[in-house]
Amino acid sequence: MTADNEKKGASRRAFLKGAVAAGGAVAGAGMARAAEPDPLITEVQEWASGLGEGVDATPYGMPIQYESDVIRRNVEWLTADTISSINFTPIHALDGTITPQGCAFERHHSGAIELKKEDYRLMINGLVDKPMIFTYADLERFPRENHVYFCECAANTGMEWAGAQLNGAQFTHGMIHNMEYSGVSLRTLLTEAGMETTGDLSDKWVYVEGADASSNGRSIPMDKALDDVLVAFKANGEALRKEHGYPVRLVVPGWEGNMWVKWLRRIEVMDGPVESREETSKYTDTLEDGTSRKWTWVMDAKSVVTSPSPQSPITHGPGPLVITGLAWSGQGKITRVDVSTDGGMNWQQARLAMEGQTKALTRFYLEIDWDGSEMLLQSRAHDETGYVQPTKDALREVRGENSIYHNNCIQTWWVKENGEAENVEVS
Amino acid sequence: AADAKRIGLGREALPEEIAAWDVDVRPDGSGLPEGSGSVMDGEELFVDYCAVCHGDFAEGVDNWPSLAGGDDTLADEDPVKTVGSYWPYLSTAWDYVHRSMPFGAAQTLSADETYAIVAYILYSNYLVDDDFVLTKDNFLEVEMPNADGFIVDDRPETEYGRFSEEPCMENCKDSVEITMHATILDVTPDEQAEAD
């Protein structure tokens, strides 16, 4: 670990910036009364008199400059280089459930490659009737499906196993994005190659790999492959971004992000798993006794309060406060989220913005009247199987501290009287 | 499925095309090409192509992965996971080196070179002698120390029951203390400096 000692925590800076933006006019609870007329109202402003930009100014737009802090961030000391590395979605600043593609996290093993549609080829081979080659244009001619799913890196929250480490929901929980995908079901493509001769499907696997140098090959059991796996080419309405697998990626609903192979180039039907590097050396979870779990595919129910949080402090003083966050489960729908303001002593049910969607992010809200005292904020997700998101201690009791992946523990934010928040662990 | 209808898109893959892309190697050795390589040859290749990141003895440089060492550390507070201490199958080492290494110049190693480099990695882990020659035929004779170190995901048995009980809603504990602070470590990037 090579942390820069001179770096100030994100929390303090974000807090000060927020306080300035709020004009410092924190008057406490109750309806504020203005002493002077507001010149933003009483004086004609430039934008109410002059002209804005023409429709030809921005053929493809970026967010307004005042949102320039809503960006991906990386943590240098996490990896040896920035090519086989990770960055983080600014979930602390987003709302709703759909992640804007431009700030949706990236995880590459040999960088984000550039692969034109014209150069794209998808091979299906192995135990099929006829090995096949598809072009990108071929893929667009198959019957299409649309689904919204979360993609969560298996290592999301992984730095937090041994204690509270990174100060912000973006860093502790931001290896995730949630998009609406358009594509072809993997079942459709396997059918095209023909599975008459494949034999008993229940003991068969598919091996999927990307066109990049790392290949990221992973083995997927056939029942999942035929269930809900998508070969996707659009996300949130437009082509995949380069860094998310343009022009074609795999979507593996509910399962760890590593298996969502980008720049997908080959699917092989096999009678066993390959036991590739990404399912032996990596994406295996070491337990306290030194044995390791393999094939931990599903991402369990999880949630996090995105605001208030260390990067999203309270700058408005006591009174009405919106507590909001995200919940998700790889086992199906989120049915309920509980929120505690006292570190888990007492809980109340939050409001789901929409009914939980299967294997997709769900937004929750809890509106409270904050009295300005300290809070220990937590959220606890429930999914349709009856599973309830565990505490970190409960997980460590089963697994120890070295499993790296699959940390779906309850997160605690300590909100101080001045509205700043910090990542903490509690008893 | 028998009732599924083909749409009639795409074309049949040619044998040369499959041979070019289907290079995966499985634990039983299937997929391995003919060839061989010695520890001695592997050492030379490793110094030329690998040691700048992985060290002369595969011990790792800076933050780059160690490929050797870490024996019997898997239950320690900080396990050292290498090919020798952790990887269950030699096939994975061959497959991964052949397909994805060296980092930045992948798919440049011949089959014989890959056999030699894998032989050298085995030697660096004290798993073979310095006169060892790895071939397609003796590949499965190499014993990987952590071959039995893995279990299939057992969360359904060990976790889902205990985490599916109706949870406490009120007066769940007498008191709550903060036991750890992220700002004490202070390793979070300064987002303001980045945005400016």
A272 & A306 share domain: no
Q: End of a domain among A293, A324, A351?
A: A293
Please report, rounded to a whole number, the percentage of residues in chain A having pLDDT higher than 90.
Answer: 90
pTM: 0.94
Enumerate the residues of chain B whose CB falls inside 8 A of the CB of residue A290. Answer: 74-75, 79, 149
Nearest CA in chain A to B28: A274
Domains in chain A, number: 3
A289 & A333 share domain: no
> At a CB cut-off of 8 Å and minimum separation 6, what does A280 contact?
A294, B87, B88, B89, B92, B150
Do the domain assignments include residue A152? yes
Do the domain assignments include residue A368? yes
For residue A2, pLDDT beyond 70:
no
Tokens matching residue A24: 């410092």
For residue B50, pLDDT beyond 70:
yes
Mean pLDDT of the A385-391 span: 98
Mutate to test the interface with A, among B146, B183, B192, B194 (most CBs of A within 10 A): B183
Q: Quick one: pLDDT at residue B2? A: 43
User: How many whole angstroms separate alpha carbon B180 and alpha carbon A419?
Assistant: 19
Band of pLDDT at residue A79, cut at 50, 70 and 90: confident
Contact A184, A267 (CB under 8 A): no
Do the domain assignments include residue A165? yes
Interface size, chain A vs chain B, as Cβ–Cβ contacts under 8 Å: 289
Contact A278, A215 (CB under 8 A): no
Do the domain assignments include residue A88? no
Mean pLDDT of the B40-55 span: 97
User: How many whole angstroms separate alpha carbon A186 and alpha carbon A208?
Assistant: 11
CB contact under 8 A, A426 and B176: yes
Q: Quick one: pLDDT at residue A27? A: 46
Mean pLDDT of the B79-108 span: 97
CATH number of the CATH domain containing A266? 3.90.420.10
Kindly report the nearest CA distance between residue B190 and chain A, in angstroms.
5
Q: Quick one: pLDDT at residue B185? A: 74
Q: What is the pLDDT of residues A215-264, one digit of tens each?
A: 999 999 999 999 999 999 999 999 999 999 999 999 999 999 999 999 99
Is A290 or A31 the better-scoring residue by pLDDT?
A290
Identify the domain containing residue A40 by its residue range.
Answer: 2-49+61-67
Tokens matching residue A310: 């260390």
Q: Quick one: pLDDT at residue B186? A: 75
For residue B16, pLDDT beyond 70:
yes
Q: Quick one: pLDDT at residue B3? A: 47
A195 & A333 share domain: no
Q: Quick one: pLDDT at residue A209? A: 98
Enumerate the residues of chain B whose CB falls inside 8 A of the CB of residue A221. Answer: none
A248 & A373 share domain: no
For residue A113, pLDDT beyond 80:
yes
Do the domain assignments include residue A318? yes
Enumerate the residues of chain B whose CB falls inside 8 A of the CB of residue A330. Answer: none
Is B150 strand, coil or helix?
Answer: strand
Mean pLDDT of the A145-155 span: 98
Do the domain assignments include residue A171? yes
Kindly report the nearest CA distance between residue A66 and chain B, in angstroms.
11
Q: Quick one: pLDDT at residue A13? A: 52
Enumerate the residues of chain B whose CB falls inside 8 A of the CB of residue A138. Answer: 9-10
CATH number of the CATH domain containing A351? 2.60.40.650
Kindly report the nearest CA distance between residue A222 and chain B, in angstroms.
12
Please report, rounded to a whole number, the percentage of residues in chain A having pLDDT higher than 70.
Answer: 93
A306 & A368 share domain: yes
Band of pLDDT at residue A88, cut at 50, 70 and 90: very high
A117 & A215 share domain: yes
Enumerate the residues of chain A whose CB falls inside 8 A of the CB of residue B177. Answer: 426-427
Q: What is the pLDDT of residues A58-73, one digit of tens each?
A: 999 999 999 999 999 9
Q: Quick one: pLDDT at residue B191? A: 58
Q: What is the pLDDT of residues A328-354, one digit of tens each?
A: 999 999 999 999 999 999 999 999 999
A283 & A340 share domain: no
Mean pLDDT of the A85-96 span: 97
Say which DSSP state A185 is in.
E
For residue A415, pLDDT beyond 70:
yes
What is each CA distance from B166 to A34, A171, A299, in whole angstroms? Answer: 49, 30, 21
Closest CA to A365 of A1, A56, A95: A95
Q: What is the mean pLDDT of chain B?
A: 94
A209 & A346 share domain: no
State the ipTM, two decimals. 0.94
Q: Quick one: pLDDT at residue B99? A: 97
Helices (H), A133-200: 136-139, 169-173, 186-193
Instruction: Say whether the peptide bond before residue B33 is cis (omega within 30 degrees of 0).
Output: no
Enumerate the residues of chain B whose CB falls inside 8 A of the CB of residue A143. Answer: 7
Q: Quick one: pLDDT at residue A58? A: 97
Q: Quick one: pLDDT at residue B187? A: 79
Nearest CA in chain B to A90: B191
A172 & A235 share domain: yes
Q: Quick one: pLDDT at residue A3? A: 40
For residue A419, pLDDT beyond 50:
yes
Pairing assessment for the beta strands A264-270 and A121-126 based on DSSP bridges: parallel
Kindly report the nearest CA distance between residue A423 and chain B, in angstroms.
5
Burial of A34 (0-12, 13-18, 19+ CB in 10 A): exposed
Do the domain assignments include residue A92? no
A308 & A283 share domain: no
Residues A152, A157, A161, CA angle at the centre, nearest 5°? 140
Nearest by CB to B10, which of A7, A138, A311?
Answer: A138
Enumerate the residues of chain B whose CB falls inside 8 A of the CB of residue A79. Answer: 63
CB contact under 8 A, B100 and A277: yes
For residue A9, pLDDT beyond 70:
no
Band of pLDDT at residue A355, cut at 50, 70 and 90: very high
Task: Kindly report the three-state secondary structure assignment for every residue of B160-171.
Answer: CCCCCCCCCCCC
Q: What is the pLDDT of residues B149-172, one digit of tens each?
A: 999 999 999 999 999 999 999 999
Tokens matching residue A371: 């009295």
Q: Quick one: pLDDT at residue B195? A: 42
A191 & A269 share domain: yes
Do the domain assignments include residue A131? yes
A215 & A256 share domain: yes
Mean pLDDT of the A8-15 span: 51
Kindly report the nearest CA distance between residue B137 and chain A, in angstroms.
19
Q: End of a domain among A245, A260, A293?
A: A293
